[in-house]
Structure formats: structure tokens, C-alpha cells
A and B are shown apart, each in its own frame.
Chain A
Amino acid sequence: MAGHPSTYEPQYAATRWLDQRLPVIRMGADFMTFPSPRNLNYWWTFGGILSLCLVSQIITGIILAMHYVPHVDMAFDSVQRIRRDVPFGWLLQPMHAVGASMFFLAVYVHMFRGLYYGSYKAPRELLWILGCVIYLVMMATAFLGYTLPWGQMSFWGATVITGFFGAVPVVGESLQQWLLGGYSVDNATLNRFFALHYLLPFVIAGVVGLHIWALHHVGQNNPIGVTPKTKTDTLAFHPFYTVKDAFALCIFLLIFAYFIFYQPDALGHSDNYIPADPLKTPAHIVPEWYFLPFYAILRAVPDKLAGILLMFAAIVVLFVLPWLDTSKVRSMRFRPVARPFFFVFIFFCFILGWCGAGNPDDVAVPIGKGLTFKVLSQISTAYYFAYFLIILPILGMTEKAKERPVSITKSVLGDHAAAPAE
């Protein structure tokens, strides 16, 4: 936190020498003593979990890249070779593929946490925006990575997504050709996608650095959203949160391991075990589960360009959210009206995911003449935007918040607030 005094004392001549020239040990030590609110719950462990996901994706990815061949005739085969013949390839390949899903699972929890506890509000606007940048680059990375195995879904997913750019007025067609490096998804596309897929994770790592820098500058938010004021409001990061994060991480790894070892294909699509065939369109082209809500928004409107704009707008609103939510109260715990709206928002996010997997014209809910996925995604899309553009701005001005505790210490200890805590 700004003004967190450094307590690090170099013990040896060598560390003193280093400290005067490049205080990296001091930086690490200050990281460990960083005052964290004492009331953080498990939702706050996902930042650490995400850091591990990123490291795991980069390490497994680099090893896979040593064996992968980015060529339309060999890419699919090379992945099979990795799974069959490369030592421990059978472990690394699912670790990377399942890892992408787990990464998104964690990032969604992390983001909903931020939405619920108002972590995007002053002074954390930039911290939140950096998070949104990370999310955007993550989506690009995942999309590029999914093309690499060159299965049917890889190929047709890439064709559909790059097709969006063709819908841009005037420059669309040339933009699309520029992206693809040709008239259609082909070897040039695969090569550049591989190059970019290798690059972007390091961009993410850089932005994560800024994200954590910003976090350490403004300090962590907490479940009651009341800024820490006194020493008893906070605890040192180590050992209190290192041990709590480690426990949560271990549980996360259990779920991760379950998928890697027992259900490595459950989160993927079987069509991606069919080598890409530009002449044969699969019956249903569906993206990976973590893109389904956006896919539903895209298909909610009949016009292609409008759909694309809407899909991008769904992410853009996240960037400007700090200024859309006019309430000064951070945590939903003290916002009796906004809170149920928030849960309905989550509800519709899942419904959007469901719609993204369904056929637009199929009946989703058999009420009345039958509610189709298309209509359902229109309703959900409307709520998604209304939540950010209407509900939050208005509630901020009209809602009467519940009384908030004076301090974190008081909220934890109640009347014993005077008792000093370690």
C-alpha cells in the first residue's frame, strides 16, 4: 500500500551492497510484509491462483512448442505425436489444454468477485482496467491457441471469428485478408497465429506486473469495502495470506488434476479430433465454453455487424464500469437493492452461456409457444447491458445503503474492537 514502510534490514555486506544498488531483495521482503485487510475471504485467493495458471500455461506451452509443427499438413499429426511419442507429452498436452479452461474458470470467479465487492471503484479504476486488458488479451490468446491443433473446430472457429472482421464496413475485406495472410484460413494464418500465440502470454505477464503494481499501490479492497485505517485492520501478507492462498490453490489443483487425469476431453469438442477439412463444414460450429456467452450475444441480433458491435460492447462496458456505477458504496453487502440485481446478472450470464451452446431456433424453455434460444439470448443480452448502463447508474443515485461498520477491526471484533489483535 502507498506509504507501507519498508522494514527490511540487509544482514550481510553483500546484501547491503546489493540493496544500495538494486533493492530487489527489499522488494521481495516488502511484498511479504504487505499489509492486507484481515477480513479477506476465499474469493480473494483467485489472484494467486491465476498467477499460477499463467506460469503453468507458459511452461507447458514452451515445451509443447518444441514439438509442435505449425504447418497445415503436419499440425494435427504433430499434436498426436506429442500425445503418443513425446516423453510426458501425454501429460503436458492435456495440462495445457485443460489449463486454458481452468484459467478462464479462475478469471471469471476473480472478475465476479470484483463486481460484487466493488473492487473497480476509486481508487482501483486502473487496477480494474488493467484486469480488463488482461482478460481481452487472454481471450485473444485462447482463440489463437485453439486454432493450432488444426482440427475441424480449430479451422472453422478461426474461419467464423476472422469472418467478423470482414463485416467491418469499407475496409472489412482487406482487413480480413490482412489478418489471414490470404483469402481464407490457411498455412499463412496458422503460422502467424502460432507466432502470436507464443507472444501474447508474455504480454499478459507484463500487464499482470502492472496489475499487481497498481494493487500494491492502492491496497486491496475487502469484503466490506471499508478502507483499512489502523494497524489492526490489516495483517502481513506472509504468513497469513500465503498459507490461506496455498490452501485454496491446493483445492483448485485438485479440480484441475481431476480434469487432466480423468476427463481430459470433457471440456473440449470431439470434432477437434477430426483433422481440419476446408471442404466440410461441421454441423454445429461452437466455440470453447468460456466464449459461449459472447457467442450468444453475437447471435442475438439478426444483423452480423450489429452482433459484432454488441459483442465488443459487452467487453467495452467493463472498461468504463468504474464510471457507470455511481454508488460510493463498494461492497454489495450493504446495497440491499443492487445485490439481488447482481445475482440476476450472474443468472443471465449463465443463461447466455447456455444459449451460446444451443441452436438459436431450438426451443429452450417450453412455455407458451416455446421460448427459443434466440429470444432467450435477446432477453439476457438486454439484461446484461441494462445492468451496466441503467441499473447501476440509477441505483447509485437512488439506493439507500445499509449502515457500514466504521472499520474492519470493528466489523470483525464487534464490541471488543478495543482489544489489540496480532
Chain B
Amino acid sequence: MKLTINKIALALSAFAVLASTSVFGVSYAAGAKSEYKMEHVHWHFNGPRGSYDRAAVQRGYQVYREICSACHALDYLSFRHLGDKGGPYYDKAYKNPNDNPYVKAFAADWTIKDIDSETGDVIERPGTPADKFPSIFDNDAAARASNGGALPPDLSVIVAARGGGADYVYNLLTAYGLDAPKDLKLTGGLYYNPVMEGGAIAMAPPLADELIEYAPIEVNDHGTIKTIPAPVATVEQMAKDVTEFLAWSADPKMEQRKSLGFATMIYLLILSVLLYFSYKAVWRDVEH
């Protein structure tokens, strides 16, 4: 009898553990009443050994540069980060990303506001790898004024800053054009997007099929140069690519972290086994 009470209590505790850990299961807001089902993408960077798909990150940068950068900044990125280890344009030949020709070219493609040290005048000059990605608007008020009162958020950590992570951003970009529920009032300048909390977003659909044209990408695969043909720039393709880029931008050290993690886990595993046998050896003659 007492035993069964204990068993019930134990079972209850076990249930409670499960229930409270389910809190950590991601639950993100897909506009409360909508039917929209989040699509789970098999990202190249998922899983303990996953890495970024270099070609996708490179294409994603192109999408960002040609489309999103009209409104969104990358506050925590510098151009040199593109050429860092783990970054989309990393090249073993240029350990210092400031020397990387791709990085230099991308930086020079942007205009940076600066002060002329001789005259003190505000000048504009081409970017260098050491520069941060510039802000797009002079200030938040200007950003709002150009976007119907809404502020386009910084995108450099956006994948980390939304509950669903990369899936959230991908779905947000592809879930336009559905029929809004009847009880949702969309005032001027708002679009229906079931992924957005509340269902209404102030960003016009940023992507449309073949809005840009992808170029083939050359990647250095262990010494041999491989050419990856350019895919057709469908909405899904661009959304995937830009999300891959933004995922890298939110967690640029992921590959380094995972590879050190792998070594650490193996090391700790071996150490645990050794310590277990040491423990058995030390306690061999001691009953306890």
C-alpha cells in the first residue's frame, strides 16, 4: 500500500518534470487564429555537425545587398567578418580578412560617411573591410518616416531574436499573399502575414520571383575550384538563401563552436570512462 503511494508520487513527479520541461519546446506565435502551418526547413547548419552552406550564405548576402539593405541594417557586422573563418568568403590564403579581395570589393561597393580629417567636413568615401556595415537611415525617425511609421529592425541578430529562429524568418518571407482572416483589420500600409505576431506586418512583400539574378558561385573545395551553377531566384530560393546568411550573421562562430564541442565531448567521454574505472578500482575492496 505504502509502496504504491510512493510509486504514484514518483510517477506524478516524473510527469511534472516532463510537463515543465515542455516549456522549453519552442512555441512561437503564428497569428493566433490562423491556419498557417510553419514549414520546418532542413537547414544545412542544423544538428551537432551541421555547418553553413557556403554557397547559400554567399547568395544570401547578394539578396541582402540587392533587396533588404534598402531598409534593414546589419548593426553588428563589419565587412571584414565576411572573410573571417567560418564566414562566407573565408579564404585560407587571406588569414587576415582585410586583405581578402572579395571582402575589399564588397566593402568598396558601399558608401561610408566619414569626417575629412583635414577640413572637418562630412564626406562620403567607399567602404574598407575594417568598416562596419553602415546604417541605412540617419536615425530611427527617418527610418519610420520612410516605412509608414514602422521601424525595420536590425537584421544581424534577427534569427536569434525570434522564437522560431531561421524557420521563423524563412516562413515570414514566404507567407505573404494568403487570405487574411475576416476579423483582421488591415489599415493602410499593413500586409497580412500569419507568421507575424498579430498577423499584420508593415513590410511590403520584399521578395518576388526573379527579382534578382543569381551569379554562379566558385567555391574552393579542398584545393579544387568548383563552380556551383546559379539557381533560379524564386521566392523560396531567395528566402532560404537570405535566411542562411542571416543565420550565419547571428551566430558567426557556430562552426568553430561545434568543432571544439565535438573534441570536448569526446575528451570528456573518455575521461568519464577512465574516472569510472578509477572509481571502481579505488573502491574495489570497500563495500558501500
Contacts and interface: CB of A to CB of B under 8 A. Distances in A.
A217 interface: no
Nearest to A151: B161
A250 B76 contact: no
B261 A350 contact: no
16 contacts: A80-B157, A81-B76, A90-B257, A240-B282, A247-B276, A247-B279, A254-B265, A257-B261, A260-B257, A260-B261, A266-B24, A270-B160, A274-B153, A340-B2, A343-B13, A344-B12
A142 interface: no
A257 B13 contact: no
Contact of A84 (B9, B252, B265): B252
Given A254-B265, A258-B265, A350-B17, A243 B279 contact: yes
A171 interface: no
Interface of A: 38-39, 77, 80-81, 83-84, 90-91, 94, 235, 239-240, 243-244, 246-247, 250-251, 253-254, 257-258, 260-262, 264-267, 270-271, 273-274, 283, 289, 292, 336-337, 339-340, 342-344, 346-351, 353-354, 357-358, 412-413, 421-422
A71 B136 CA distance: 24
Q: Secondary structure of the A side of the interface?
A: helix
Given A336-B2, A347-B9, A271 B269 contact: no
Interface of B is mostly: helix
Given A257-B265, A262-B258, A340-B5, A351 B157 contact: no
A271 B157 CA distance: 11
Pick from A84, A339, A422 the residue with the most CB of B within 10 Å: A84
B81 interface: yes
Given A262-B261, A347-B13, A353 B197 contact: no
Contacts of A91: 257, 260
Contacts of A250: 268, 271-272, 275
Interface in B245-288: 250, 252-253, 256-258, 260-262, 264-265, 268-269, 271-272, 275-276, 278-279, 282-283, 285-288
Interface residues of B, number: 55
Nearest to A261: B261
Contacts of A254: 265, 268-269, 272
B10 to A, nearest CB: 6
Contacts of B119: none
Given A250-B275, A270-B162, A240 B283 contact: yes
A271 B161 contact: yes
B283 to A, nearest CB: 7
A220 to B, nearest CB: 14
B279 A244 contact: yes
A339 B6 contact: yes
B20 A270 contact: no
Contacts of A260: 257, 261
Contacts of A354: 16, 19-20, 22-23
